[in-house]
């Protein structure tokens, strides 16, 4: 849940989720519809799907236990190097470091070498004996991440109170490195076409082929083509929506109709038991202003 999402946003979701699913076995008996509904508003829904898929694999193949080998762990859906190392450290107390943006920044500053010039895997291997000096490897994994988030922060690190400042090359140097991590923001323009009816319903389909919208219930979404006129559709509103590193400029169109294409189903604009991602909810809000 915490990948790409702030702690304060995650807390209520985490509490609700762990209250409902107290064991991996309980989670494995759930289904995608239920999990997505609980995840609604948190975004990056692939995480929820992967979590459910992982629980089913763990129950079926591993007697509900996390495998101990990194190769086996990385076969689980959505688990890459970072998560695998974090799990082995946190669950099995193995000497591991989960190298995320925070941890990279800490090492890079401590050595006063730019991140892109460090091979972190090599660095950890080479310095194993100096890094893992206690038996509390589980705490160390967590502590490093927290240290990067709270002390050696992206902006204004707390160097004067930092316990590493006596040996930190960044702190001592007159020629401090600059680590600029610019997220590449992409602007995209989309037209969205909504069928609505007098019962305050909107027609949604899962047939959109745009990568980040695949498998979601939505009206038709098309990349804006400036030369095309969207005849037969009434323009409602222009607005912005951000998804990850995408900035979307949206033109929303509608038409009242009782006939909809076969792949569409009607949904209430107000009252939905099914999972509705924030992107779709925003469309609902705009269209609701028509009633």
CB 163, min distance to ligand SF4, A:
8
Of 103 and 141, nearer to ligand SF4 (C-beta) is 103
CB 123, min distance to ligand SF4, A:
15
Element (H or E) spanning 35, and its range? helix 32-39
Of 59 and 103, nearer to ligand SF4 (C-beta) is 103
Of 165 and 189, nearer to ligand SF4 (C-beta) is 165
Name residue 253's beta-bridge partners: 193, 235
Residue in 174, 225, 205, 200 with CA at minimum distance from that of residue 285: 200
Angle between helices 81-92 and 137-150 (to 10 degrees): 130
Of 171 and 284, nearer to ligand SF4 (C-beta) is 171
Q: What is the distance between the alpha carbons of residues 271 and 268, in angstroms, rounded to a whole number?
A: 6
Interface residues with ligand SF4 (CB under 6 A) are 106, 109-110, 151-152, 157-159, 162, 164-165, 168, 170-171
Count of Cβ atoms closer than 10 Å to residue 226 Cβ: 6
Of 172 and 255, nearer to ligand SF4 (C-beta) is 172
CB 153, min distance to ligand SF4, A:
8
Name residue 75's beta-bridge partners: none
Of 47 and 109, nearer to ligand SF4 (C-beta) is 109
CB 291, min distance to ligand SF4, A:
55
Backbone torsions φ then ψ of 30, nearest 5 degrees: -80, -175
Name residue 204's beta-bridge partners: 265
Q: Is 91 exposed, middle or buried (0-12, 13-18, 19+ CB in 10 A)?
A: middle
CB 227, min distance to ligand SF4, A:
53
CB 152, min distance to ligand SF4, A:
3
Element (H or E) spanning 29, and its range? none
Which pair of tokens denotes residue 98?
């989960």
């Amino acid at each position: 849940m915490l990948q790409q999402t702030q702690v304060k946003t995650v807390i209520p979701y985490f509490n609700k989720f762990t209250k409902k699913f107290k064991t991996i076995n309980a989670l494995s008996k759930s289904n995608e519809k239920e999990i997505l509904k609980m995840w609604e508003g948190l975004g990056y829904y692939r995480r929820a799907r992967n979590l459910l898929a992982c629980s089913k694999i763990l129950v079926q193949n591993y007697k509900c236990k996390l495998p101990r080998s990194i190769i086996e762990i990385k076969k689980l859906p959505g688990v890459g190097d970072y998560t695998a190392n974090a799990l082995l450290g946190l669950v099995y107390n193995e000497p591991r470091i989960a190298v995320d943006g925070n941890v990279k920044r800490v090492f890079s500053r401590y050595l006063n070498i730019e991140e892109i010039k460090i091979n972190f895997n090599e660095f950890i291997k080479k310095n194993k004996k100096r890094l893992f000096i206690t038996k509390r490897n589980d705490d160390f994994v967590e502590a490093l991440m927290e240290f990067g988030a709270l002390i050696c922060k992206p902006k204004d690190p707390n160097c004067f109170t930092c316990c590493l400042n006596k040996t930190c090359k960044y702190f001592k140097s007159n020629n401090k490195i600059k680590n600029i991590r610019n997220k590449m923001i992409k602007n995209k323009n989309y037209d969205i076409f909504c069928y609505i009816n007098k019962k305050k319903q909107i027609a949604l389909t899962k047939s959109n082929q745009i990568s980040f919208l695949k498998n979601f219930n939505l009206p038709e979404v098309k990349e804006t083509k400036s030369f095309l006129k969207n005849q037969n559709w009434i323009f409602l509103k222009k607005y912005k929506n951000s998804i990850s590193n995408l900035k979307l400029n949206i033109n929303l169109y509608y038409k009242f109709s009782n006939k909809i294409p076969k792949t569409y189903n009607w949904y209430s604009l107000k009252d939905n038991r099914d999972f509705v991602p924030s992107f779709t909810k925003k469309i609902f809000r705009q269209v609701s202003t028509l009633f």
